[in-house]
């Protein structure tokens, strides 16, 4: 820490979401302005975070980053960790296969908070190693599951926890770009957050249409269809209805590789239901007029990544515990890998935590 009130930060990976690099976005066919924040801007937007370095193997990305932000750049992230001085926060915005290696190196370099892209890692063993090394060093590990940081998602979580929809009876998740590892990770994580229940088993079928991956031929991240089982233990007489169901909560997943339906999450209860459409939430409670919780205004500091950095700073300050346990991100990874395991066994139920050979499944997601 440079002084009592300021924190130094750096970004490893200066592409689309790391460096807000539109040239990289053009390759993916996406616009930076459509993102829910970037690593570089979330750090620059915080008044007490000083961005002091960026690293990328790509010469063009380094040059564009340095020109836009006047921040020192490095071709090798190891050199940056060694030469950039003490770093409090490091954003890891590289491909999934190197997340674990970079996380370990950051901890060894004394980094206090690591803000890592999702999915967590290609395998469960690597993901658990990230948790272990950070826990042993007392470093904060945060994953960029952006729905966690939306005010409306948190508000819906609180409404459900207070019984505002009665007892949950089912849930559903739908998106039409496939990519269980890259998109599904957000959805599965949000389902666990909003319901307050862990995914305990998966029955899934992968979409085998072989949609090309936007990150290149080395990656294959299909969508699919299935059911998530979320474990709960309801005490007698709980919930808002005399007909409250017992047993686990089921969530239907519809995530084909090709399609045109909107991305949405729905939560159904005995006393009403709610639907998340991006940052908007629509709430329908029995006997009441429907409510629309509008998305927050798009201003500097309003993206989910801006809010994540604010939460990181508050935790480093010691003023508030971080509101997201990284172990939940590992369970989300397990649920994605369980989809693959279930598919290989004709959609048979696969329980979490994964065991045996299922732990060795590799997620080929960028």
Residue ranges of the domains in the chain? 7-146+301-325, 148-293
Find, among 96, 152, 90, the residue nearest to 119 by Cα. Answer: 96
pTM of the predicted model, to two decimals?
0.94
pLDDT for residue 138: 98
Q: Is the pLDDT of residue 123 over 50?
A: yes
Lowest-confidence segment of 134-143, 174-183, 234-243 by average pLDDT: 234-243
Q: Please determine, for residue 72, whether its predicted confidence score (pLDDT) is greater than 60.
A: yes
The domain over range 7-146+301-325 is classified in CATH as 3.40.190.170: no
Residue 236 burial by Cβ neighbours in a 10 Å radius (0-12, 13-18, 19+) = exposed
Inform me whether the pLDDT recorded for 139 exceeds 70: yes
What would the mean pLDDT of 89-96 be, rounded to a whole number? 97
- pLDDT value at residue 5: 85
12 sits in the region (left: phi over 0; alpha: psi -120 to 50; else beta) called: beta
> What is the CATH class of 148-293?
alpha beta
Q: Is the pLDDT of residue 216 over 80?
A: no
Q: Is 41 helix (H, G, I), strand (E, B) or coil?
A: helix
For residue 261, what pLDDT is reported?
83
pLDDT digits (tens, 9 = 90+) for 172-209: 999 988 899 999 999 999 999 999 999 999 999 999 99
For the chain, give me the number of helices (H) and strands (E)? 11, 15
* SS3 label, residue 277: strand
- The whole-number pLDDT of residue 336 equals 98
- Same CATH topology for 7-146+301-325 and 148-293? no
Instruction: Tell me the pLDDT tens digit for each residue of 249-268.
Output: 999 999 999 978 889 999 99
CA dist 19 and 337 (Å) reads 29
**CA torsion, points 205, 329, 37, 310, in degrees to nearest 10?**
160
pLDDT at 4: 60
Q: In 138-274, which ranges are continuous DSSP H helix?
A: 151-161, 185-195
Q: What is the dihedral angle through the alpha carbons of 191, 197, 198, 201, rounded to the nearest 10 degrees?
A: -80
pLDDT at 211: 80
pLDDT at 365 over 70: yes
Cβ atoms of 111 and 9 closer than 8 Å: no
Mean pLDDT of the chain: 93
Predicted confidence (pLDDT) at residue 239 exceeds the cutoff of 60: no
Q: Which residues contact 67 (CB under 8 A, 6 or more apart)?
A: none
DSSP code string of 94-116: S-GGGHHHHHHHHHHTT-SEEEE
How does residue 236 score in pLDDT terms, banded at 50, 70 and 90? Answer: very low
pLDDT grade, residue 212 (50/70/90)? confident
Give which of 269, 265, 267, 291 is closest to 278, Cα–Cα: 265
Is the pLDDT score of 240 beyond 60?
no
């Amino acid at each position: 820490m440079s002084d009592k009130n300021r924190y130094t930060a750096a970004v490893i990976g200066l592409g689309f979401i790391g460096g807000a690099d539109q040239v990289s976005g053009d390759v993916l066919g996406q616009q930076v302005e459509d993102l829910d924040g970037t690593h570089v801007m979330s750090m620059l937007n915080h008044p007490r975070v000083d961005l002091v370095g960026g690293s990328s193997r790509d010469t063009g990305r380094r040059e564009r980053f340095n020109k836009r932000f006047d921040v020192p750049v490095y071709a090798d992230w190891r050199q940056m960790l060694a030469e950039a001085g003490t770093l409090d926060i490091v954003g890891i915005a590289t491909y999934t296969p190197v997340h674990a290696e970079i996380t370990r190196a950051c901890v060894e370099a004394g980094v206090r908070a690591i803000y890592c892209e999702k999915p967590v890692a290609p395998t469960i063993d690597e993901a658990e190693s990230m948790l272990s090394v950070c826990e042993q060093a007392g470093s904060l590990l945060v994953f960029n599951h952006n729905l966690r940081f939306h005010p409306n998602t948190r508000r819906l979580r609180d409404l459900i926890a207070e019984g505002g929809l009665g007892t949950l009876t089912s849930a559903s998740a739908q998106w039409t770009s496939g990519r269980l590892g890259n998109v599904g990770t957000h959805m599965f994580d949000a389902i666990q957050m909003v319901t307050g229940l862990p995914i305990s088993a998966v029955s899934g079928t992968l979409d085998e249409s072989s949609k090309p991956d936007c990150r290149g031929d080395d990656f294959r991240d299909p969508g699919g269809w299935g059911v998530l089982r979320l474990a709960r233990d309801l005490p007698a007489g709980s919930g808002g209805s005399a007909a409250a169901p017992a047993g686990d909560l089921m969530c239907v997943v519809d995530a084909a590789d090709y399609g045109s339906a909107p991305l949405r999450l729905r939560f159904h209860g005995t006393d009403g239901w709610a639907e998340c459409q991006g940052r908007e939430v629509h709430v329908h409670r029995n006997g009441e007029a429907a409510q629309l919780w509008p998305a927050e205004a798009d201003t500097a500091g309003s993206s989910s990544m801006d809010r994540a950095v604010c939460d990181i700073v508050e935790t480093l300050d010691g003023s508030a515990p971080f509101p997201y346990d990284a172990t939940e991100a590992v369970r989300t990874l397990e649920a994605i890998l369980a989809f693959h395991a279930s598919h290989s066994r004709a959609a048979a139920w696969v329980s979490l935590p994964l065991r045996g050979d299922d732990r060795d499944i590799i997620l080929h997601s960028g």
